[in-house]
């Protein structure tokens, strides 16, 4: 492997990157830097996030810039504000010893006046998003007639965001003899058309896929129903108390919904999406970089430019349609010599995508089962104990309060005190997971299919239970209660209807007596459970309509599972008598 000095870089650049901890070039840097320093031939480079492409084009740009000429000589186009800011920051770090070099970022969502003032000074390198670049070109404030090289970074993302016309218009404003450097993770048709129209005999540079799919990443997948994706996401977060990662979603809407649910459920999370103002985006990203957030929920586009080296997890709530994007995402963890975990949450129809990724990128996935409630509670309990054991005690601060504390707790034994203390911190997990169900589907697809086919033939008995939505009962927790009471997951459950203070559910005929007995003495959210066969109004139920809706009006199913029918009301008029 060559060194940075062997690529042809000068001492001023070498000293700057050495201070940043750069030791040896990445594969894409080793191929790109020598070419750019010695040739003005156009370049098409296949490069994913995390391969060091900013340095690959940025270091030669810095060295080739004529400092005495204050006009714009290099233009770097990228899809998002975040990436624009990150590239600018990197270029300024690389050019620490190049006094007089101006690197100016221009992007939407920020003051255009500030950017105009920067352009009037030294602006030999301009880093821009296509929309703001076009705006400044139309104002005749961004002048490109002296540009000698144009970089299209994340070209595939710029096309997917609808910037094709802007890119072509910007390239048309540059001199015909300029050099074009195109960096892209994938090569869709739009990029091919740009290369044919605006590039001359480009050289293609790429790295082996094995270099992209780093060995430091552990690739896992879980298989659940689509409706259980969020439940699994919470379990993954709970089984990894120190998680620090990105959750990738398909759409902006899904990003907002998942982030809102996580925050509502008490998780340290937030969203990054296109509807945020620049100030809001900066605030979210700053909190994430400072580890004030554990989970950042984002789309691929929104996460561009988020450069964090110590992510523990990347979670794909949905696998991307383009399997190459999976590698793009997973490359955000396992950086800087650290290990990371990339997780894919899939359903039964997505096995093919897992196989495609394994075959194409030489990645080996490990199939995992969703953590059980017991697994999560055990992990959280031990984490809590470790935290208590290692917490720093400031005796000077605590000692004045210690006599009162000891007097208050003197009636508790050592064992009782530990139980009280742990319960105060731990009851949330115990309450939530005590009736958790098995959400895995990978080990029993045949049984699931058979269950659905035979359900119509199964005879059901309709039961009443004296807890409802006001007691935090939902279908999942009810099924968990049933499985726990029977100590089995084999019982078939039919329709479930949950009211405010009670609920109805169907259980396969023949085990209702066993289930009713099994529920005796059990407690749910502080309520002693009572279950009985539903025929008419259960004993002890209120007669008011908001507590006990009349059976006829609601048309509840009969015992055999078929919908109840109403009698046709008699006509209010008199009927004619037959003569």
Q: Which residues contact 250 (CB under 8 A, 6 or more apart)?
A: 299, 317, 318, 320
Please give the structure tokens belonging to residue 496.
Answer: 């479930």
Task: Average the pLDDT over each of 166-180, 181-195, 210-224, 416-430 and give the range with the smallest value.
Answer: 210-224
Phi, psi for residue 530 in degrees, rounded to 5? -135, 125
Say yes or no: 22 and 138 in one domain: yes
Residue 20's pLDDT band (boundaries 50, 70, 90)? confident
Say yes or no: 394 and 521 in one domain: no
Question: Among 164, 181, 207, which residue terminates a domain?
Answer: 207
Question: Among 371, 387, 417, which residue terminates a domain?
Answer: 371
β-pairing, 523-524 vs 527-528, is antiparallel
Residue 491's pLDDT band (boundaries 50, 70, 90)? confident
Residue 214's pLDDT band (boundaries 50, 70, 90)? low
CA distance 486 to 490: 9
Q: Which residues pair with residue 205 across a beta bridge? A: 45
Other CB atoms closer than 10 Å to residue 347's CB: what's the count? 17
Task: Look up the domain containing 395 and give its range.
Answer: 374-433
Q: With respect to residue 568, please indicate whether it lies within any of the assigned structural domains.
A: no
Residue 49's pLDDT band (boundaries 50, 70, 90)? low
**Residue-level pLDDT at 188:** 72
228 pLDDT higher than 80: yes
**Residue-level pLDDT at 285:** 87
CA distance 532 to 515: 9
Say yes or no: 71 and 161 in one domain: yes
* Number of structural domains in the chain: 4
Say yes or no: 451 and 462 in one domain: yes
**Residue-level pLDDT at 69:** 93
Say yes or no: 72 and 191 in one domain: yes
Please give the structure tokens belonging to residue 380.
Answer: 């959280």
Say yes or no: 226 and 196 in one domain: no
Token match 């949330």: residue?
A: 428
Residue 160 backbone zone (phi > 0: left; psi -120 to 50: alpha; other: beta): alpha
Report which of 14, 126, 15, 150 is spatially closest to residue 71, judged by C-alpha positions: 126
CA distance 450 to 457: 11
Q: With respect to residue 572, please indicate whether it lies within any of the assigned structural domains.
A: no
CA atoms within 13 A on the CB side of 468: 15
462 pLDDT higher than 80: yes
Say yes or no: 320 and 383 in one domain: no
Residue 480's pLDDT band (boundaries 50, 70, 90)? confident
Question: Among 184, 207, 230, which residue terminates a domain?
Answer: 207
CA distance 315 to 417: 39
* List of E strands, 364-416: 365-368
Task: Average the pLDDT over each of 177-186, 386-395, 504-513, 555-564 and give the range with the smallest value.
Answer: 555-564
Q: With respect to residue 63, please indicate whether it lies within any of the assigned structural domains.
A: yes
Say yes or no: 150 and 84 in one domain: yes
> Higher pLDDT residue, 162 or 244?
244
Q: With respect to residue 559, please indicate whether it lies within any of the assigned structural domains.
A: no
Say yes or no: 260 and 362 in one domain: yes
Report which of 151, 9, 14, 10 is spatially closest to residue 72, judged by C-alpha positions: 151
**Residue-level pLDDT at 577:** 44
Q: With respect to residue 196, please indicate whether it lies within any of the assigned structural domains.
A: yes
**Residue-level pLDDT at 22:** 86
**CATH number of the domain within which 130 lies:** 3.40.50.300
Say yes or no: 26 and 43 in one domain: yes
Residue 390's pLDDT band (boundaries 50, 70, 90)? confident
**CATH number of the domain within which 475 lies:** 3.30.70.330
> Higher pLDDT residue, 458 or 116?
116
Whether residue 259 contacts residue 271, with contact meaning beta carbons closer than 8 Å, is answered with yes
CA distance 441 to 554: 34
Helix (H) / strand (E) element for 551: namely helix 551-554
Say yes or no: 39 and 147 in one domain: yes
CA distance 139 to 395: 65
Q: What percent of the chain has pLDDT over 90?
A: 41
Q: What is the DSSP letter of 123?
A: -
Q: With respect to residue 115, please indicate whether it lies within any of the assigned structural domains.
A: yes
Please give the structure tokens belonging to residue 398.
Answer: 């605590």
Q: What is the DSSP letter of 277?
A: -
Whether residue 137 contacts residue 173, with contact meaning beta carbons closer than 8 Å, is answered with yes
**Residue-level pLDDT at 558:** 43
Residue 327's pLDDT band (boundaries 50, 70, 90)? confident
> Higher pLDDT residue, 32 or 539?
32
Q: With respect to residue 439, please indicate whether it lies within any of the assigned structural domains.
A: no
> Higher pLDDT residue, 303 or 167?
167
Q: With respect to residue 576, please indicate whether it lies within any of the assigned structural domains.
A: no
Say yes or no: 399 and 461 in one domain: no
For the segment 448-469, the average pLDDT, to the nearest whole number, is: 71
The CA-atom distances, in angstroms, between 340 and each of 300, 314, 368, 397, 425 are 19, 8, 16, 39, 29
**Residue-level pLDDT at 435:** 76
């Amino acid at each position: 492997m060559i060194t940075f000095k062997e690529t042809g870089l000068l001492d001023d650049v070498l000293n700057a990157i050495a201070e940043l901890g750069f030791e040896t070039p990445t594969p894409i840097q080793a191929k790109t830097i020598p070419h750019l320093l010695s040739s003005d031939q156009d370049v098409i480079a296949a490069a994913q996030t995390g391969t060091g492409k900013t340095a690959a084009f940025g270091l030669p740009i810095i060295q080739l810039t004529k400092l005495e000429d204050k006009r714009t000589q290099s233009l770097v186009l990228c899809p998002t504000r975040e990436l624009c800011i990150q590239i600018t920051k990197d270029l300024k770090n690389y050019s620490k010893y190049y006094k007089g070099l101006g690197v100016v970022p221009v992007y939407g969502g920020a003051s255009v006046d500030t950017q105009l003032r920067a352009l009037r000074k030294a602006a030999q390198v301009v880093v821009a998003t296509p929309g703001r670049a076009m705006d400044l070109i139309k104002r005749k404030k961004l002048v490109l007639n002296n540009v000698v090289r144009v970089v299209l970074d994340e070209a595939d993302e710029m096309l997917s965001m609808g910037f094709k016309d802007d890119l072509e218009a910007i390239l048309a404003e540059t001199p015909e003899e300029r050099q074009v450097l195109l960096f892209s993770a994938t090569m869709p048709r739009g990029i091919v058309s740009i290369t044919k129209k605006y590039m001359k005999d480009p050289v293609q540079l790429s790295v082996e896929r094995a270099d992209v799919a780093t060995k430091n990443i552990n690739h896992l997948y879980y298989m659940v129903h689509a409706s259980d994706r969020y439940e699994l996401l919470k379990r993954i977060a709970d089984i990894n108390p120190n998680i620090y990662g990105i959750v990738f979603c398909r759409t902006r809407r899904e990003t907002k919904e998942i982030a809102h649910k996580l925050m509502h459920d008490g998780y340290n999370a937030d969203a990054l999406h296109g509807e945020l103002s620049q100030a809001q985006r900066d605030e979210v990203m700053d909190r994430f970089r400072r580890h004030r957030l554990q989970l950042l929920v984002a789309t691929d586009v929104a996460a561009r430019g988020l450069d964090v080296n110590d992510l523990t997890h990347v979670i794909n709530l949905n696998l991307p349609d383009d399997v190459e994007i999976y590698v793009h995402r997973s490359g955000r963890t396992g950086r800087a010599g650290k290990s990371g975990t990339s997780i894919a949450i899939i359903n039964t129809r997505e096995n093919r995508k897992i196989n495609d990724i394994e075959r194409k990128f030489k990645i080996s996935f490990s199939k995992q089962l969703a953590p059980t409630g017991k697994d999560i509670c055990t992990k959280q309990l031990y984490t809590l104990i470790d935290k208590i054991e290692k917490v720093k005690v400031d005796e000077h601060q605590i000692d004045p309060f210690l006599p009162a504390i000891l007097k208050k707790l003197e009636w508790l034994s050592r064992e009782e005190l530990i139980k009280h203390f742990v319960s105060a911190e731990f009851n949330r997990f115990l309450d939530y997971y005590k009736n958790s169900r098995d959400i895995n589907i990978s080990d029993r697809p045949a049984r699931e299919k058979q269950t659905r086919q035979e359900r119509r033939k199964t005879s059901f008995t309709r039961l009443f239970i004296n807890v409802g939505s006001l007691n935090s009962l939902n279908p999942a927790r009810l099924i968990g209660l049933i499985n726990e009471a029977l100590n089995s997951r084999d019982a078939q459950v039919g329709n479930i209807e949950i009211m405010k203070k009670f609920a109805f559910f169907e259980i396969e005929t023949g085990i209702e007596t066993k289930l009713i007995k099994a529920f005796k003495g059990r407690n749910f959210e502080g309520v002693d459970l009572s279950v009985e066969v539903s025929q008419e109004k259960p004993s002890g139920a209120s007669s008011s309509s908001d507590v006990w809706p009349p059976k006829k009006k609601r048309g509840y199913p009969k015992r055999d599972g078929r919908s109840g029918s109403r009698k046709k009301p008699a006509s209010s008029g008199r009927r004619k008598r037959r003569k």
